[in-house]
Amino acid sequence: MAMTLYELLGADDRRFSPFCWRARLALAHKGFDADRVGVRFCDKELIAFSGQTLVPVLVDGETVVSDSWNIACYLEDTYPDRPALFGGDAAKPLAHFINTWADYTQRTTLTTLIVFDIFNHIEKIDWEYFRSHREQRFGMALEDVQKNRDRDVAVFREALQPLRTVLESRPYIAGEAPTYPDYILLGTFLFARTMSPFKLLKEDDPVYAWRARMLGLFDGMATKAIGYPC
């Protein structure tokens, strides 16, 4: 039976959540082609069956899994004969650390650069929810959060230094092939690519070359998704 992935939906069929991208990339790595259901911020009833309010949600037969990290662990534990996502037991807690680092550092420094672009690429029905929620979080108008982004992008780039250092000596985080930590960090870039034309990386940055390699994976799955060139 086909799996179904519920993922965040913006205008023009943009699937933009970094967490949903993590789940989609994990599914692709395992060789699954799940059905995909778009969920707008105001469509909470579509995922009420999961007992919580956030996407991604994966349905695999009778099993319902929410949260991108739980989905990755579920796929690894349930389908051990398919390509390994983490690369062994010891690698899993390290991937969990990277998951947490990405949530608190990479994603938050990025969001301040593109939050008004996100607003402009979601459907009008979600505008009030998104604006009030995010303006409460940032303590200012969405337009103002990103107004100094040409300057503030330096903070985002600096936060990527641990990734940059690693990529100077190998093509992917764990070596010669991508594993779940690569998908965690790529998910954030795909979130940006889907919603904003803002250039995040300089072309001579090793992270830029890594992102280009990642965009080509799975027959260019990410490049084919609606978004801006990067």
Ligand X SMILES: N[C@@H](CCC(=O)N[C@@H](CS)C(=O)NCC(=O)O)C(=O)O
Which of residues 126 and 146 has its CB atom nearest to ligand X in the complex? Answer: 126
What are the b/e assignments for 183-198, b being 16+ CB within 10 Å? Answer: bbbbbbbbbbbbbbeb
| Alpha carbons 197 and 160: distance in angstroms, whole number | 19
Q: Tell me: does residue 184 bind ligand X (CB under 6 A).
A: no
Which of residues 17 and 167 has its CB atom nearest to ligand X in the complex? Answer: 17
Choices 67-75, 141-149, 182-190, 220-228; region in contact with ligand X by CB under 6 A: 67-75
Contact 13, 7 (CB under 8 A): no
Nearest-approach distance from CB 74 to ligand X, in angstroms: 12
Report residue 162 as tokens. 């641990």
Q: Tell me: does residue 226 bind ligand X (CB under 6 A).
A: no
| Alpha carbons 69 and 163: distance in angstroms, whole number | 20
**Chain residues 113-142 in contact with ligand X, contact rule CB under 6 A:** none
Count how many Cα atoms sit within 13 Å of the Cα of residue 86 in the half-sphere of its side chain. 22
| Alpha carbons 11 and 210: distance in angstroms, whole number | 28
Which of residues 134 and 167 has its CB atom nearest to ligand X in the complex? Answer: 134
Number of residues in contact with ligand X under rule CB under 6 A: 11
Q: Tell me: does residue 21 bind ligand X (CB under 6 A).
A: no
**Pairing mode, strands 35-39 and 57-60:** unpaired
Report residue 114 as tokens. 């593109």
Q: List Cβ neighbours of 110 (8 Å cut-off, separation of 6 or more).
A: 156, 188, 191, 192, 200
Which of residues 41 and 210 has its CB atom nearest to ligand X in the complex? Answer: 41
Which of residues 3 and 167 has its CB atom nearest to ligand X in the complex? Answer: 3
Q: Tell me: does residue 8 bind ligand X (CB under 6 A).
A: yes
| Alpha carbons 156 and 137: distance in angstroms, whole number | 19
Q: In what order do the strands lie in the sheet with 63-66?
A: 35-39, 4-8, 57-60, 63-66
Q: Tell me: does residue 50 bind ligand X (CB under 6 A).
A: no
Which of residues 50 and 179 has its CB atom nearest to ligand X in the complex? Answer: 50
Choices 66-74, 155-163, 201-209, 219-227; region in contact with ligand X by CB under 6 A: 66-74
Q: Tell me: does residue 17 bind ligand X (CB under 6 A).
A: yes
- Stated as kind and residue range, the H or E segment containing 127 is helix 127-138
Q: Tell me: does residue 55 bind ligand X (CB under 6 A).
A: yes
Which of residues 69 and 218 has its CB atom nearest to ligand X in the complex? Answer: 69
Q: Which of 5, 10, 19, 201 binds ligand X (CB under 6 A)?
A: 19
Q: Tell me: does residue 56 bind ligand X (CB under 6 A).
A: yes
Q: Could you list the residues that contact ligand X (CB under 6 A)?
A: 8, 17, 19, 41, 53-56, 67-69
